[in-house]
Amino acid sequence: MPKMSILKELWNFLKVRKKWWLAPMIIVLVLLGALIVITESTAVAPFIYTLF
């Protein structure tokens, strides 16, 4: 199953069910995940992990 179909299915769920309050939580989780993935191999990693 391609990853884009999961995103498309999630978008359709939010649109059809009118669950717009879930969107900010999903965006924050994606941004935190991206921050951890991007900084895991840099010198900034120890400083980022102290935030959590």
What are the CA-CA distances from residue 5 to residues 9, 36, 45 (Å)? 6, 24, 32
Q: Is the pLDDT of residue 4 over 80?
A: no
Q: Is the pLDDT of residue 26 over 80?
A: yes
pLDDT, position 3: 63
pLDDT, position 29: 87
Q: Is the pLDDT of residue 2 over 70?
A: no
Cβ atoms of 28 and 12 within 8 Å: the answer is: no
Which has the closest alpha carbon to 7: 26, 24, 33, 25? 26
